[in-house]
Amino acid sequence: MNRLAHHQGIHKFFFTLGLTLQLSKPVIKHLIHIVDALTTKGFSGTLTDIHYWSFHPNHRTTLRHFFTKSPWNEERLLGKLQEWILSQVERLAKRKNQPLFVSIDDTICQKTKPSSRAVHAIQGCDWHYSHKDHQSVWGHSLVWLMVHTFTQAFPFAFRLYDKKAGKSKIDLAIEMLSSLKVKRAQPVYVLMDSWYPSKKLIEACLKQGFHVIAMLKTNRILYPKGIAIQAKQFARYIESKDTRLVTVGQERYRVYRYEGAIHGLDDAVVLLAWKADQPMAPEHLHCILSTDRELGDEDILRYYAQRWTIECFFRQAKDQLKLDGYRVRHIRAVKRYWAVVLLSCVYSIAESRQNLSTGLELLRSRKDHSVVEFIYDAAKQDIPIDVIKKQLRIA
């Protein structure tokens, strides 16, 4: 009997990426089943689910072996995926004459803290402070990098933050940025929240010819007229008449533009901004840095707003693709699981040519049709119903 039609769609995508030349046939077959399962509604992250939802023909233990011991190269897979992503976004940015955005942020894949008697705990977990929960949680902390235009966004790379390994999140971000081989026909803006814009990371971006737009902490030192002062202290001297009203999307802001040195950077723009409907008090102050001094206030705020893309990705990847749902314990298996989530995410976006949720809707409806066609074809060939049920795991 034919494999399900939507498996052919996944195979075609792998062929486009050039993966069919890089990986063996058994590995490709496993990956097709795994991507199928991950993009199925109701998937929870377990190997049992992968086996069940993708109608996997082999025993479940072969999946565990595939994630833990099988000699395939996930770095090669990610490399091919990254080449394809860059070619897509560069072409789009050039065609629409728009900038390219790179967003950096981290997220925690929360796990249950094992008891001291647990023999097999998930490797690589630690306590990490969660800003969302305002407390430390047990799990894996991942630094992610996304590449996007105004209309299309792809997750690009990730690194596991391991406190014991001696590399900071800033180091991991720099590492990923260096793998970003952009032709730079369009300007590139690296977007980050107030946790990331250290001197070291800003310098790494500028060295690659990228600009930075980032939220700054309000205690960052500015040097108006050469005098060192915290941004929030400086803001006390700013009156409403010194600001101008700027509209970004649905929001209006009062903006004061500071140009000059900040701590760790000789020459930059910092916008001191307040929502127009809030008092100009220190607790409502936002400070946004741009290393591109040519940009107007509206563009700086509009570009920074694109950082929301990575927040949406984290939420969807956890809700829809179970980025944090894995139960595999070996650290290599965990990293491979994340690589396959990234692959499934990019495949969904590529198929819909829109975004992750639209892509998943499309793939899920395609799978439903594919199963119906599978049953119809089997019935036409007079294949006994018990055999069909067995094939579809409903015997």
Contact predicate 102/190, CB 8 Å:
yes
- Judged by phi (left if over 0) then psi (alpha if -120 to 50, else beta), residue 324 lies in alpha
Give me the residues paired with residue 262 across strands. Answer: 222, 265
Q: Which two tokens stand for residue 284?
A: 């409502």
pLDDT reported for residue 395: 42
* pLDDT value of residue 372: 57
Q: What is the pLDDT of residue 128?
A: 93
pLDDT in tens, the chain (395 residues): 344 556 778 888 899 998 888 888 989 988 988 888 887 766 666 777 666 655 555 656 677 888 888 889 899 999 999 999 999 899 989 999 999 999 999 999 998 877 665 557 889 899 999 888 889 999 999 999 999 999 889 999 999 999 888 899 999 999 999 989 887 778 999 999 999 999 999 999 999 999 999 999 999 999 999 999 999 999 999 999 999 999 998 899 999 999 999 988 999 999 999 999 999 998 999 999 999 999 999 999 999 999 999 999 999 889 888 889 888 889 999 999 999 999 988 988 888 776 766 766 666 666 655 655 566 566 666 666 666 555 555 44
In the three-class reduction of DSSP (H, G, I as helix; E, B as strand; rest coil), residue 213 is classed as strand
Helices (H), 191-285: 199-207, 231-235
pLDDT at residue 363, rounded to an integer: 63
What pLDDT sits at residue 48?
Answer: 73
pTM of structure: 0.87
pLDDT the model gives residue 322: 87
pLDDT, residue 249, reads 87
Determine the pLDDT at residue 359. 65
d(CA 61, CA 65): 6
Query: Are the CB atoms for 282 and 218 separated by under 8 Å?
Result: yes
